[in-house]
Amino acid sequence: MVCIGLLQFSVDADEKSPPSPFGDFNDPRQTISIYEWIRDGKPEQRIRQLNNSILIICWMPDSNGKFESYQISGIDGFHSRERIELFLHAFYALDQPKEVGTERLNVIVAGNNWGAGIALKEKLMALSKEHKFSVFYAGGWAFRKARLIEEPEARQAMIREAFLKTNNSEQDGADQPATAPESKPEGDLKPQPESEGRSQ
């Protein structure tokens, strides 16, 4: 049995709010065996594994009532679209360590509302063409909580390095810290922090 750590994020405006009828968003990278097999009636020659991806969530609206903000799996807090675009550029400029694999890491964009995250499309198309990776879209329904896997060590190091490279860039003030984490077991999964973002 494989144990996968989960991080749970929430943007519920009110603890008494009813749960979303569409359920929580569960990190699709938990399923390690999904990859593109056939495209347009022909076998796909290059394996693009879903689990071999970084994940970005677009919240619309976010926990502070802003029109949109973003989270990067493996990085605390909520961030502006401009910061995410800078992060993506820095991430794909890095040399990928052999521990991560030979294929470029893909991107999964998840949105908790119709059209959430679509603003990243132009940037992702340009980077995908240059660096030869795939982009998957998930979500598009009104989920309020996201349960994410714990990033593997080598991938986490790349994510942090790229994010730190954006620290010296001008920001629009949209970056917001997440509240203090609280440990919570998730069934057979090992305990991981639960981060709750609340509206003020």
Question: Minimal CA–CA distance to 200: which of 7, 9, 67, 11?
Answer: 11
Ranges of residues in the chain with a pLDDT under 50 are 1-6, 11-21, 170-174, 177-200
Indicate yes or no: pTM above 0.75.
Answer: no
Chain centroid to CA 119: how far?
15
Q: Give 56-76 pLDDT, tens digit per residue.
A: 999 987 666 667 899 999 999
Beta bridge partners of 179: none
Which pLDDT score, from 0 to 100, does residue 174 have? 47
Position 113 scores a pLDDT of 86
* CA angle at 8 for the pair 109 and 167, rounded to the nearest 5°: 60
User: What is the DSSP-derived secondary structure letter of residue 169?
Assistant: S
Domain range annotation of the chain:
6-11+22-29+47-196
- Determine the Cα–Cα distance for residues 64 and 80; give it in Å rounded to an integer: 12
